Amino acid sequence: MRDESAWPVWSRDRQQRIEHVLDAALPPVQGPAGRLAEAMRYATLGGGKRVRALLAYAAAEFAGADPGEVDALAAAVELVHAYSLVHDDLPCMDDDAMRRGKPTCHVVFGEATAMLAGDALQTLAFAVVADARGPGAARACSILAHAAGFAGMAGGQAIDLLAVGRTLSPAELETMHRCKTGALIGAAVELGALGGHPLDAGEAQALHDFAAAAGLAFQVVDDLLDVEGSTATLGKTAGKDAASNKPTYVALLGLEEARRHAAALRDRALAALLPFGVRARRLVELADWITLRKH
């Protein structure tokens, strides 16, 4: 008998759920632009931890919403994330040949089609939100746009490109990753909470503080895994950051201090949720999963 409350069951169910939602949202592989649809589906389906979707579902539970009320929002965040990975892997960016344990989109479909696939995934994300026609659709589009744009992922990637070969200060590195990684993680939490009852100021601040700490913890752990993990385990090229002379928490702090920093960020994330007890259970479990993961 399955324990529906157990973390492995809950997370697997939500991962399978978002896979079905994404499959339905993506265009079919047919017609004159069928190859583009194939590239979009290749880049999105059948891989990834679905951390951002899980955060949206967990925040929805915190706000008293059922999964069906945030399916579109969770899918939109995953579509934006998928687009960002396609573009990040391009030769003009990080020039990576492996993602989620398989060749990157541009390796399989060519650079031009991969670029279009990323563009189409990004615009599809906003269409999914708008088509859901919920009362918070306009607000959701605004949250997603800010997280993906100049003040979020795009701005963070620009800082990252300019930082190659430089030694950043701790504050500069944190700013880069709050934009590049943390913004979309924060958006996932905020979007998930939109599906439930309106939050008061204290609840909203607690979710913001949780997401800010969890987002940075995710990046610190990524930097650690790039050094300590293998390509087979990670599903992407291990050691790529060091080989590219990119600024990372490991390069700045060293392995042991980076581990301590990740643990401190996890503690900060959990402290933000402490007043809410079992209501924040899934978010607490996600904070543990993010910081203790091995891939």
The structure's pTM equals 0.94
- Asked if residue 2 belongs to a domain, the reply is no
**In this structure, what CATH number is given to the domain that contains residue 31?**
1.10.600.10
Number of domains into which the chain is organized? 1
The confidence score (pLDDT) of residue 166 equals: 85
Question: Residue 16: what pLDDT?
Answer: 97
Residue 85 belongs to a domain: yes
Q: What angle do CA 169, 175, 181 make, to 5 degrees?
A: 125
Structural domain includes residue 1:
no
Give the type of residue at 175.
T
3-state secondary structure of 1: coil
Q: Which has more pLDDT, 242 or 130?
A: 130
User: Does some domain include residue 196?
Assistant: yes
DSSP, res 4 = T
Can you give the residue range of the structural domain that contains 214?
7-292
**What are the C-alpha distances in Å from 203 to residues 63, 93, 145, 197, 207?**
9, 38, 23, 11, 6
- Residues 104-158: tens digit of each pLDDT: 999 999 999 999 999 999 999 999 999 987 778 899 999 999 999 999 999 999 9
Classify residue 200 as left (phi > 0), alpha (psi -120 to 50) or beta.
beta
